[in-house]
Amino acid sequence: MTIVTQNVIPASVLLQDGQPEWLRQWGSFAARIKFSDLPEPVVARTKLVILDCIGAIAAGMQEPEMRSLVARLGERERTEGQVPVIGAGRRMSALLASLLNGTAGTMLELDEGNQYARGHPGIHVVPAALAASERLAVPGPDLILAITLGYEIGSRIGIASKLRVTMHPHGTWGTIGAALAAARLEGATPEQIIETINLASSFGLSTSRRTMLEGGTVRNTYAGFSNQLGLLAWELQASGFIGETDGVGTVYGTVIAENFQPDEMVLELGERWEIARNYFKRHAACRYTHGALDALGEITRQLGGSINPTSIEAMEVDTYVWAAQLDSAEPKNMLAAKFSLPFALATYIVNGAAGVPAFREEAQANAVARDLARRVSVREDAALTAMLPGLRPARVRVRLRDGRQLAAEVLTNKGDTEDPYSPEDVRAKFRELVEPVWSGPHAERIMDEVDAIDGASDIRQLLDLLARSPQHGFSQ
């Protein structure tokens, strides 16, 4: 059989490819590893990731869009489900709860991430794992192991491939992480795990990067769908559906990404754990803004802790390509504001921090902040781009109207592996996010339950805590 059209390969040639060795290794590894095989620092970090995701979900669930979506989807369920919609005070089916929890977790741009994977593995895995765990009544160690494995495979696909520059990383390889976590909780065999991975590889969304730049909040649903579709991938496998022989290699080597490097999938497998080199966030904005925000924080410290915005003539930022892309100074909503480097710097100066309130509607409308944002210029420095992904550098210069110039430079974001937040920093963030939702004592009970989860016979006590209604009610 001969085909003359360029770049079209006959099926007889394509189908000669067998199952890749890395996938067989992953099937065996994920099915046979035990909780006791996890190093203690990996267990401790996984518990922090669970806690961080719960905080981001509970706070994000209070946003108007989430309240409306919970109400609308809740009307369509004939009976109440079993899985908590975290921060909403109700339970739904596993598929709907995982969708809602994953979506809420990205609403405030505060979910953790992994700089080497170039994405946010935790929020793509934790909601699905919690949903699957509820039905199975699994012990805490099983939940930790499943989340760790799901985080690992998602991160490694992100490391091993290069998404197209027009793609947003949410809703892509995270689906495979969610699917693997569900498969592991179900006690899947190596063959079932391989098939689940292959099925889930087809479920990446057509995630447009432009959504984050212009404030298209559909972007916030991407992680929600990853959790939902990950659970569905396991159910499809258990029902007899099959994927292609090497779904990951095809999708992440030729479809939505390119240059897939299979060796990266098994390099130091079981020795180097991606969840142990994740990052946590305190600025409620796109991580690409954090280097410049940290540098600006150093400048404000030089001036005694604050700067009068009217005293600034201009600000200049030199940074890496993805941060430099965020140069719009006229964001139209909260999401766009979080992806505007000029506005993030301006609102930081006006509000004294880049926390959640600094990006809400009132802060967006602040005339002083918007005027200052227009005086921020952003440039890519190719030498700084070359430092990716290990470093996330930024240089910030502030020119004052009195003629003074102040400058600061950072090579990495606060919270990254090279400059991590402490466990107590992560807990402090959790309190800030969760206490307005449930109260201080309830936040402490959740933290205690997560801290002790590796000794829990099942996780239903944690889920019961997460099902509590918010203290100020939850209405559309």
pLDDT at 1: 60
pLDDT of 370 strictly over 70: yes
pLDDT of 21 strictly over 70: yes
Range 55-80 average pLDDT: 93
Q: What is the pTM of this model?
A: 0.96
Q: How confident is the model at residue 376 (pLDDT cuts 50, 70, 90)?
A: very high
pLDDT of 476 strictly over 90: no
Q: How far is CA 466 from CA 97, 386, 463, in A?
A: 12, 43, 5
Q: Cβ–Cβ contacts within 10 Å for residue 401, how many?
A: 11
Total number of residues shown for the chain: 476
Q: Which of 146, 59, 132 is nearest to 356 (CA)?
A: 59
Considering the chain, what is the average pLDDT of its residues? Answer: 95
Range 250-265 average pLDDT: 96
**Three-class HEC string of 215-274:** CCHHHHHHHHHHHHHHHHHHHHHHCCCCCCCCHHHHHHHHHCEECCCHHHHCCCCCCCCH
To which H or E segment does residue 400 belong?
A: strand 394-400
Q: How confident is the model at residue 82 (pLDDT cuts 50, 70, 90)?
A: very high
pLDDT tens-digit readout, 22-46 = 999 999 999 999 999 999 999 999 9
pLDDT at 358: 97
DSSP state of 5: S
Sign of CA dihedral 293, 295, 296, 301: positive
pLDDT tens-digit readout, 381-420 = 999 999 998 899 999 999 999 999 999 999 999 999 889 9
Q: How confident is the model at residue 169 (pLDDT cuts 50, 70, 90)?
A: very high
To which H or E segment does residue 378 belong?
A: strand 376-380
Range 423-431 average pLDDT: 98
pLDDT at 213: 95
pLDDT tens-digit readout, 276-305 = 999 999 999 999 999 999 999 999 999 988
Q: Which two tokens stand for residue 4?
A: 């003359």
C-beta of residue 335 within 8 angstroms of C-beta of residue 219: yes
Strands (E) in 35-107, as ranges, are 83-85, 90-92
Q: What's the rounded Cα separation, in Å, for the pair 179 and 175?
A: 6
Share of residues in the chain with pLDDT > 70 (%):
99
pLDDT at 17: 77
Range 68-77 average pLDDT: 91
Q: Which of 128, 20, 106, 105 is nearest to 57 (CA)?
A: 105
Q: Which of 98, 108, 103, 92 is nearest to 59 (CA)?
A: 108
Q: Which two tokens stand for residue 144?
A: 């930790």
Range 171-200 average pLDDT: 98
Q: Which of 128, 92, 152 is nearest to 224 (CA)?
A: 128
Q: How confident is the model at residue 475 (pLDDT cuts 50, 70, 90)?
A: low
